[in-house]
Amino acid sequence: MRIALVIERFEAGSGGAEAVAWTIAHGLARLGDQVEVIARRADDSPEVAVRRVAVPRGWQPLRVLGFSAAAARAIAGSRADCVLSFSRTRRQHVYRAGAGSHADYMERRYGRLHHAWRFSPRHAVLLAAERRIFRDPRQRVLCLSEMVRSEIQRRYQLPAERLTVVRNGVDLERFHPRNRAGSGAKLRARLGASNLPVWLFAGSGFKRKGLDTALRALARSGPSASELWVAGRDAPARWQRLARRLGVASRVSFLGFRADLAPVYAAADALFLPSRYDAFGNVCLEAAAAGLPVVTSGAVGAAELLRDSGGVVADPEDVTGFARELERLQEPALRARRAADSRKVAETLSWDRQIDVLRTELERAVA
């Protein structure tokens, strides 16, 4: 097929949706499809064609609207059989709801104040774009989890046949338990880790990812029972103050943003992500592939895969529930069992398999 893939940024080495788009575009090209990427910023690649569109910079609402209009013009001049968009743009055959439902995100993120935040230009633009997509009966919607599928169907009354769950995949070689003896042991030594279990909190935007809950659960799980490593892009000062107030500052290390989390997974003993909203949560699947138990919240899409192999606490605000899960994981035998079970889950979601599943959905959209 001739496939147009739409995303604002298409750059090698990026994280999140950009990394997923890069992997999918090149995976489809290796299957023999002609892939053209429409983006405002993009790295060149010998395997896929790239078309850059001019978009106003700076203020996000204007940028989002500008990219949607520019992408629509590019699509109109494209010879693609199928258009797959990773962004909230106007025209596509398939919209990949990688961020889930923005309306549900706002309810989880802002609680009772979410109605007031709807007047923010940023949120107003995103909500309007979301409504336009979901109300267009010609567009199919790919969801990263059953959680997102049910949210969108409930909120927007979409017929079931327009919604399909296609989860992200994972690189089973890059993230592998064998790395614990090599890069993992070296990183623990370099960071001066003790013999206590190390829980890894990985994610940018610490408030949404639930770092306050993580710190409180760490404090409640017992004195000097474990350490917490925090990796991600955010200003750490307010969180360091909270750690001091809770009496756990000496047990918390802020690692900053890490472009490559593979050695950090290899050095940790479990992933701890009490996020308030994640449509999927790639770090959960990567950590599982690396052989880590995963403790996360029911507001994370990947939790539905890990209920039997990890610790899933339904309410992201349940500090006591998370503390209890951390206390359980202090037992090495339980950690080992959950680590093995997590790896088995990840092995069912290789990128090769998930790209095959995605391509079948694109064929169905064209048909």
Which domains occur in the chain, in start order? 2-169+350-366 (3.40.50.2000), 177-346 (3.40.50.2000)
Give residue 100's pLDDT: 94
Give residue 367's pLDDT: 86
- pTM equals 0.94
Give residue 134's pLDDT: 95
Strand partners, 295: 272, 311
Sheet holding 94-97, edge to edge: 49-52, 34-39, 2-6, 82-85, 94-97, 140-143, 163-165
CA distance 37 to 344: 33
Give residue 222's pLDDT: 78
Q: For the chain, which ranges sit under pLDDT 70?
A: none
Give residue 197's pLDDT: 95
Give residue 307's pLDDT: 87
User: Token digits for 214?
Assistant: 């993580």
Give residue 16's pLDDT: 85
